[in-house]
Structure 1
């Protein structure tokens, strides 16, 4: 079976801890950062993806698949506002096909939000069988990894980070060829520096794009 996303998980040991963490998530005070590899070379440095996300009417009975509302004519059901920030890190080729390594920061937390938003921009996550319309089945996994989670707890602020898992995996690295490193990210320090960039609302010199129903 294809491996889906991987990475950091938040599991509370007590009810009180769960309550404190839950309030941080509800108030959107946590910060989550994902490393991903998407199909194609993106034409921007940083983007705000603001498409609402709802249930795909074709799978409404199972709630298996979600869909982005990319226009007023969208058939998506029960849509909710959703917002993702994307920062391009490196361009390259996977099995001679163009891909881009990206940093993703979900501002909201909707079901399948990152996968749906990437697909809605025309750049599905590498190995995402569902949101490539069952076309992308060759890779051994979906290339989405929860790399860093920041919980600003008053008693003990937590900043949890894992190493990137893609380039240390020969099944990926043997098929990948780098083209251009836009921003360093493979060490903890470099990854945190990239997170600092995506946290800003504006960065001089970066090509910016917004995706919403007004496009």
Structure 2
């Protein structure tokens, strides 16, 4: 039974994560298209609105109802009834059509919310496959909507740490390079630099993206001639580092908790490979 809602909302927005077999928005749309979902015993469509008080049911063919749970341990940095923050390792997608995703591993790693609109936990933003760091997750339908709105309204402050190649002329600055014909902006500040036989200089850099375009930080740094160490897509030919992954880490998130009003600033410690460079240059 749907709890009371402040205003009507489309089922294809409200229903993300309600059912374990359709944990994503794209899966929900497919289930609606195949007429697997009913609201008050009436077949639902993408035009169906939810007002509160409805009974939502999923009926799928038995051969699709399989228990194929991903077994994958995650480090939980913080968790309450509404949301969680977890560490995303490198080498795994946040979500998508693949079986091995952070989204598919959340259920086994987080405690079920006891709130009335508890749902399958869902990431509310993305990190690249090769990027490590802090990821925000909603555990209730209202939390997922509120957190998505916060990202859309740009009220979540994200800080990344990275390692760049080459001598940077400025210790800080702003990169404003359009990506896919859309305005994008990233602020950067050099924390420390070390000499490198192979790369000339390596720089420990703090980044604060002001927009959220795909591969924004990687493209922005490459555009000023200082690509991220280990970036095989936007790096400089002859200066690619193999075997150690991408040196890009989502270090912290600052936001106001949408239900408690508390100001959150949570950090995810730097990977060991970052620290090794600035203790002793190994390249």
What's the Cα RMSD here? 2.2
Give me the whole-angstrom Cα distance separating, in 1, the residues matched to 2:267 and 2:244.
24
Paired position in structure 2 for 1:9: 135
Paired position in structure 2 for 1:87: 189
TM-score by length of 1: 0.64
Give me the whole-angstrom Cα distance separating, in 1, the residues matched to 2:131 and 2:138.
21
Paired position in structure 1 for 2:23: none
Aligned partner of residue 150 in structure 2, secondary structure: helix
Change (3 A) 1:91 1:43: same
TM-score by length of 2: 0.49
| CA-to-aligned-CA distance 1:104-123 (integer Å, 9 cap, x gap) | 00000000000000000100
* Partner of residue 42 from structure 1, selected from 151, 168, 176: 168
Q: Contact between 2:188 and 2:207, CA under 8 Å: does it hold in 1?
A: yes
Give me the whole-angstrom Cα distance separating, in 1, the residues matched to 2:252 and 2:133.
8
Q: Contact between 2:227 and 2:236, CA under 8 Å: does it hold in 1?
A: no
* Higher RCO (Cα < 8 Å, 6 or more apart): 1
Query: Is 1:176 matched up with 2:267?
Result: no
Q: Contact between 1:95 and 1:175, CA under 8 Å: does it hold in 2?
A: no
Query: Is 1:22 matched up with 2:148?
Result: yes
Change (3 A) 1:168 1:101: closer
Q: Alignment length, in residue pairs?
A: 151
* Partner of residue 234 from structure 2, selected from 131, 146, 151: 131
Structure 2 unaligned residues grouped into runs of 5+: 1-89, 92-129
Aligned partner of residue 145 in structure 2, secondary structure: helix
Query: Is 1:109 matched up with 2:216?
Result: no
* Greater gyration radius: 2
Q: Contact between 2:194 and 2:278, CA under 8 Å: does it hold in 1?
A: no
Give me the whole-angstrom Cα distance separating, in 1, the residues matched to 2:196 and 2:217.
21
Change (3 A) 1:166 1:43: farther
Give me the whole-angstrom Cα distance separating, in 2, the residues matched to 1:173 and 1:139.
19
